[in-house]
Structure 1
């Protein structure tokens, strides 16, 4: 399975990659901006997207809306602005930073079983 990690903090992106690896994901693309995320998803459609809200430049919400307008993909928001994500994207699980490993694993199981 392939995941797209939209995150502009390298350490957090690497942590998410490790967690997703333990959940069975075997390949990854990383994006730090809206444009990189859209390009990566067009080059290889992910089975799962994790996204932060604040990117430099752009917004993870805008990236997800653009990517998922063409093809519905499971999404988990992992962000320091959880309230913004919940209000703007209530259909997706939202985890607050700092996050717990068990919460990420539970969210992955939830979205991948739908």
Structure 2
């Protein structure tokens, strides 16, 4: 199940007998812009501990004999959450429709009481 958590994803295997070349090094942090007042990188304050804990939990789950059941449970939880959202959407749509009907009936009564005629659509 390592594919589920993105492990070994998109890493082509090197043909046997050929040496594996390491990836190119990242560009230097200083750069050649010459501006000393350049803002810091947006990732400079990133704290990876939560990500590391999640990765470790994923590895432990992958090794567990209950991995399939855990995945099924997570899938069922997501489906129930989606069903809750769908029911909330239906309630809001119903409220909107009833409000729309009330407004139409109000204007219809108002026109009838004034002796006016309906506008042509």
Identify whether the pair has TM-score above 0.5, normalized to the shorter chain: no
- Flag the structure with higher helix content: 2
In the superposition, the TM-score normalised over structure 1's length comes to: 0.21
- Flag the structure with higher strand content: 1
